[in-house]
Amino acid sequence: MWSAGVDEAGRGPVLGPLVVGAVAIPTKDLHMLVEHGIRDSKDLTHTKRLEMVNWFHLNADQRGWKHQLIECMPPRIDAAVMNNGLNLLEVELFAEALNPIRHHVGDGVSILNDACDVNAQRFTDRIAARLTDWPWNNSTMSSEHKADTNHAIVGMASILAKVRRDEIIDALENEIGYPIGSGYPSDPHTKAALPALLKGKTPHDALRWSWKTVKREWNALHGEDPPVRRFTDKKQRTLFGP
């Protein structure tokens, strides 16, 4: 029997990706996550998150733990905001992270999602509708609010997603050449970077053009709303773990 947890990092930022992480480990190994202090990534320092990711990968090599990371970039996020909304986007991303799990571990997996919908059962049902051949044999799925706080398996998924998002933001900052902060609208470095990221004919590709912050700043600089962003390719980068 296996246990799986799914969570996201980066729902609220004005720039950078939304990353969804899925973790699957043998149920008999769950105690190891608890004993190692795995919990919600927001409760950990950056240094501690990196240490826990390294620890996870070590056990992935030795014990066959699995993980998937889905990197959803701003164009797809903007398209979701303009059409079906962020909650349904997360449903799609959670399903995309989970579908490969069956190929890795076979049947018999207990899945727990961190619910982004106020209705946790609706969130579960929507994900289930997007899973290939669900229900899987001897498998269950549920969603829970604050699952990343209450369950180490979901906390591990949140840590992997958060660290990957931070890596992407660091690379983006190096590419841009000046500080951009965490990407959250309240971050002083992000606030200071916005005018430069809005100087071109369109907002910078790394920005979420549909965010109110971007719309407001773009309108202040250009006297009009930002252009509508086009997105047709729903394929996102998926990182597979052993």
Q: List, for residues 123-148, the tens digit of each pLDDT value.
A: 999 999 999 999 999 999 999 999 99
pLDDT exceeds 90 at position 229: no
- Looking at residue 238, its pLDDT comes to 55
pLDDT exceeds 80 at position 182: yes
The stretch 107-114 carries a mean pLDDT of 95
Task: Estimate the share of the chain in helix, then strand, then coil, as percent rounded to the nearest 5.
Answer: 50, 15, 35
Residue range(s) in the chain whose domain bears CATH number 1.10.10: 177-222
- Looking at residue 239, its pLDDT comes to 58
pLDDT exceeds 90 at position 230: no
> What gap in Å lies between CA 55 and CA 46, rounded to an integer?
14
Residues in the chain: 242
- Looking at residue 107, its pLDDT comes to 83
pLDDT band for 17, please (50, 70, 90 cuts). Answer: very high
> What gap in Å lies between CA 206 and CA 87, rounded to an integer?
21
Q: Which residue has the higher pLDDT, 228 or 26?
A: 26
- Looking at residue 237, its pLDDT comes to 58
Residue 129's H or E segment, with its range, is none
Q: What long-range pairs does 237-241 form, CB within 8 A, spacing at least 24?
A: 237/70, 237/71, 238/68, 238/69, 238/70, 238/71, 238/96, 238/97, 238/100, 239/68, 239/69, 239/71, 239/164, 240/67, 240/68, 240/100, 241/57, 241/60, 241/65, 241/66, 241/67, 241/68, 241/69
Predicted TM-score (pTM) of this structure: 0.93
- Looking at residue 233, its pLDDT comes to 64
Domain covering 177-222, topology? Arc Repressor Mutant, subunit A (1.10.10)
Closest Cα to residue 4, out of 103, 96, 112, 148?
Answer: 112
pLDDT exceeds 90 at position 240: no
Instruction: Write the pLDDT tens digit of every residue in 25-53.
Output: 999 999 999 999 999 999 999 999 999 99
Closest Cα to residue 208, out of 95, 89, 119?
Answer: 89
Percent of the chain with pLDDT over 90: 89
Residue range(s) in the chain whose domain bears CATH number 3.30.420.10: 2-170
Instruction: Write the pLDDT tens digit of every residue in 66-103.
Output: 999 999 999 999 999 999 999 999 999 999 999 998 88
- Looking at residue 47, its pLDDT comes to 96
- Looking at residue 5, its pLDDT comes to 98
Domain covering 2-170, topology? Nucleotidyltransferase; domain 5 (3.30.420)
pLDDT exceeds 60 at position 236: no
143: tokens are 């969603």
